[in-house]
Amino acid sequence: MSKKHPVQKNSRKTVSPQSQTRQKSGRINAQADRPFDLWESTFSKYLPGLFYVSLFLTLFLGISLFDVKISSGGDDSDYILSAKKFMEGREFPSWHGSFYPIFLSLPYLIFGFNLIVFKITSFVFIVGHLIFIYLAFRRRMPSLLLSLILLCASVNSSLLYFASQTYSEALYLFLQAFSFFLFFEILDVAERSDFNPKTRIVLWLTFGLMMMLLSITRPVGYAMIIAVLFYLLVTRQYASALRSFLSFLVFYIPFSLYKWIVWGIIPGAGGGRVEEILYKNAYSKAAGLEDLSGMVVRFMQNCKLYLSKHFFKIIGWKDQQSTETSVFVTLLVIALFLLALILAFRRKNKYMTALALYLGCAVCITFITLQQSWDQSRLILIYVPFMLILFAWGLSQLFTTGKMKIVPLVTAGLLVIIFFTSLSDTSQKLKENQKVLAKNLRGNLYYGFTPDWQNFLKMSEWVGKNLPESTVVVSRKPSMSFVYSKGKEFYPMYRFPTEDADTLVARLTERTGPLVAIRQNDLYRKNIPLVQHLVTKPSMVAVVSQEDEIYTLHRNDASFPQMEAFLRQNQISSISADSMLRLLHRNNKTFYGISPDTLLNNLRINKVEYAIAANLRAIPNAKTERIINTVQRYLYIIEMKYPGIFSLHHQVGNDDNEPALLYRVNYSLYGLSPGKP
């Protein structure tokens, strides 16, 4: 009987040299078939290091681009003024969003009025938003793409701009990124039965707080709770949907009760916001309200403005001065979004599905609620980092094998291009900012502003130094005047308060009887001395304007015989108010009406004694005849009935250099005084 040899447990199977060659070749070919995976395996090792590089770039470039001035937009200084009023218990901030002014009131309380401190908080938020984007999406999307997106964000001048401004964008970006980080952690925790229940509760409550803070920072923040609820309900996570809603209410209800009890703001009251959204023109109520078709047109126009113009400006693919829009590019961006959304659903990627739903909801709300006249990059900037994440992920998932397997690498290549275009744009702004920042830090706070803004802000400073604190002064940009006058508050005049002419005429006719209209061009063509016009002033009750055509409306009774004689003597014809309205309607152009007495009474009620009339440019980078003439139009209409009621009190800047003028209201000239009319 032959003896069997025992089998050795650690014996290896003999492989021929030819077989080893074939196996090695197979591994190489497999990697060649998935080039993106080869790059991904490399970048996954270096993602933390690249994140720290992006953090360093954000810090370095953010400091280099730091702007110690207030912007000419005005909203940033509005937040500071609102913070002061809230801190003093005088007014609850509700118009632009509550949370940012409430937050600013804390450094205001600690450090007083310190603009640099306010701006540093924005810097911290921009850095924080980058950190939480990294924490939220690492291990949840390709490392190669995430590292490139982080680098793109770190050198993007549009994002870095808000690191030194007191706008709410930096805070919103931080809250948004932190919310995604928390929600993704919650989604992961839901799959683990061994997770500490107390930690789970803390996560939900923290996420609920973030959703509430988003909603009171900007109204579009409600998109987060809407998207989260929709995602959880669609994926049949009903218990989690209930938790998310309750965690939101845990903070939202006490906050609403606080506003109601302390400030008298009824929960759910819009404060006129809904009506403002529906206006065709945010600055002219006379233009009327949008109907359903108008809202559809608004949405489509905003899609073109923000997706084909501002989005590409932000990523550096379009010149900052460009005004071009494109239907094709708009549809392409929408197609990229839909592609990513569909792929996220089909591949059951919970993170990208939630991100896509949020972006779709938030962007749609933005485009529906904003009039096209806003047309500002910052209104879509808060979504851009997340849009890049979603679009890059969607493209990387589209083709991974076959002839189109190179597409993911092409996506990475596009991000590289975005990085260099953004870096180039930022480098240019860095050069421009160095000289401005140096002069600002040496004490020249106005260097960097155009002459129109310099004169306006210097006038605000002059008012703060030379007029008593109790003096009420009109300003088109009251919060900016507040900042540069070192804390004096001004009376705001944001818009020219026009009325629907038909409604105005009907109301005046009912009160005074039939009205007649005089065409002002007829007076000026005949070169009648202005002093003779005075006989028409006492009977004037309103002004109606249609482009260059201006009519004054007058009472038509025997109390004003001198006016009738003046018209006959100068062969000037008058027409009835109804005939004027029919003529204006026939021209098919927008027109409005306004009452000089209504405007003057508004100044009297608010005890206004002075008004700043500045020559602020309508086109910021060009000195033209077009200016923001809100205050000038207001004063002009009053002057039409009350000649001489305004006198020049002080001027900053030469007549040919966009001066700011301070007018005094001479109530006594007409036997009037500030106070109730």
Pair 491, 604 in one domain: yes
Is the pLDDT at 128 greater than 60? The verdict is: yes
Is the pLDDT at 556 greater than 60? The verdict is: yes
The residue from 558, 592, 626 where one domain ends is: 592
CA distance 133 to 154: 12
Pair 488, 603 in one domain: yes
**Would you say residue 606 lies in a domain?**
yes
Q: Give pLDDT, residue 548.
A: 86
Q: CATH number of the domain at 475, please.
A: 3.40.190
Q: Give pLDDT, residue 57.
A: 97
In 442-560, where does DSSP find H-type helix?
451-466, 478-484, 501-512, 520-525, 530-533
Is the pLDDT at 270 greater than 60? The verdict is: no
- The SS3 assignment for 527 reads coil
pLDDT in tens, 539-549: 999 999 998 89
CA distance 540 to 554: 4
Closest CA to 232 of 391, 359, 346, 357: 357
Pair 557, 633 in one domain: no
Q: Give pLDDT, residue 271.
A: 53
Closest CA to 153 of 326, 367, 386, 363: 386
In 513-619, where does DSSP find H-type helix?
520-525, 530-533, 561-569, 577-587, 596-605
pLDDT in tens, 577-627: 999 999 999 988 889 999 999 999 999 999 999 999 999 998 888 888 889
Count of CB atoms situated within 10 Å of the CB of 520? 17
> What band does 375 get if pLDDT is binned at 50, 70 and 90?
confident
**Would you say residue 306 lies in a domain?**
no
Is the pLDDT at 96 greater than 70? The verdict is: yes
CA distance 317 to 310: 10
Pair 616, 489 in one domain: yes
At 496, the amino acid letter reads F
Is the pLDDT at 465 greater than 90? The verdict is: yes
Average pLDDT over residues 257-270: 83
Pair 541, 490 in one domain: no
Share of the chain above pLDDT 70, in %: 89
**Would you say residue 480 lies in a domain?**
yes
Pair 642, 505 in one domain: no
CA distance 433 to 421: 18
Total domains present in the chain: 2
Pair 460, 478 in one domain: yes
Residue partners of 575: CB distance under 8 A and separation at least 6: 516, 517, 583
pLDDT in tens, 391-405: 999 998 886 555 556
Task: Give me the phi and psi of 11, to 5 degrees please.
Answer: -70, 145
Domain that holds residue 552: 501-592
pLDDT in tens, 561-573: 788 888 888 888 8
Decide if 148 contacts 197 (C-beta within 8 A).
no
Torsion-angle region of residue 612: left (phi > 0), alpha (psi -120 to 50) or beta? beta
> What band does 199 get if pLDDT is binned at 50, 70 and 90?
confident
CA distance 312 to 309: 6
Residue partners of 96: CB distance under 8 A and separation at least 6: 75, 78, 79, 82, 168, 218
**Would you say residue 146 lies in a domain?**
no
Give the chain's end-to-end CA distance (angstroms, integer): 130
The DSSP secondary-structure symbol of 164 reads G
Place of tokens 């938030």: 362
If one compares 1 and 376, the residue with the highest pLDDT of the two is 376
Average pLDDT over residues 639-663: 95
**Would you say residue 86 lies in a domain?**
no
Residue partners of 368: CB distance under 8 A and separation at least 6: 295, 298, 299, 302
User: Looking at 16-25, 50-59, 267-276, which range is the least confident one?
Assistant: 16-25
Average pLDDT over residues 352-376: 92
The residue from 592, 617, 637 where one domain ends is: 592
**Would you say residue 240 lies in a domain?**
no
> What band does 646 get if pLDDT is binned at 50, 70 and 90?
very high
> What band does 32 get if pLDDT is binned at 50, 70 and 90?
very low
> What band does 98 get if pLDDT is binned at 50, 70 and 90?
very high
Pair 604, 492 in one domain: yes
Is the pLDDT at 33 greater than 70? The verdict is: no
Average pLDDT over the chain reads 88
The residue from 537, 564, 592 where one domain ends is: 592
Cα 472 to chain center, whole Å? 29
Average pLDDT over residues 414-442: 92
> What band does 27 get if pLDDT is binned at 50, 70 and 90?
very low
Q: Give pLDDT, residue 10.
A: 40
Supply 255's token pair. Answer: 């906050």
In 14-114, where does DSSP find H-type helix?
17-33, 35-64, 75-87, 99-111
Average pLDDT over residues 249-266: 93
What b/e sequence results for 323-356 when a residue is b if at least 16 CB atoms lie within 10 Å of its CB, and e otherwise? eebeeebbeebeebbebbbebbeeeebbbbbbbb
Q: Give pLDDT, residue 275.
A: 67
Q: CATH number of the domain at 582, please.
A: 3.30.70
> What band does 230 get if pLDDT is binned at 50, 70 and 90?
very high
Average pLDDT over residues 115-135: 97
Pair 586, 606 in one domain: no
CA distance 149 to 513: 69
Pair 575, 459 in one domain: no
pLDDT in tens, 508-523: 999 988 899 999 888 8
Closest CA to 590 of 549, 546, 637: 546
Kindly state the helix (H) or strand (E) to which residue 284 belongs, with its residue range: strand 284-289
User: Looking at 67-81, 378-392, 553-567, which range is the least confident one?
Assistant: 553-567
- The SS3 assignment for 261 reads helix
Pair 584, 614 in one domain: no
> What band does 286 get if pLDDT is binned at 50, 70 and 90?
low
Average pLDDT over residues 290-299: 87
Pair 481, 604 in one domain: yes
Query: Apex CA 377: angle with CA 374 and CA 382, to 5°?
Result: 115
CA distance 246 to 212: 11
Decide if 388 contacts 415 (C-beta within 8 A).
yes
Is the pLDDT at 526 greater than 60? The verdict is: yes
> What band does 39 get if pLDDT is binned at 50, 70 and 90?
low
Could you give the count of Cα atoms lying within 13 Å of 520 in the half-sphere of its Cβ?
A: 19
Average pLDDT over residues 443-460: 93
Share of the chain above pLDDT 90, in %: 66
**Would you say residue 517 lies in a domain?**
yes
Task: Give me the phi and psi of 307, to 5 degrees please.
Answer: -85, -35
Is the pLDDT at 22 greater than 70? The verdict is: no
Average pLDDT over residues 456-469: 96
Helices 197-217 and 99-111: crossing angle, nearest 10°? 90
Closest CA to 491 of 265, 263, 674: 674
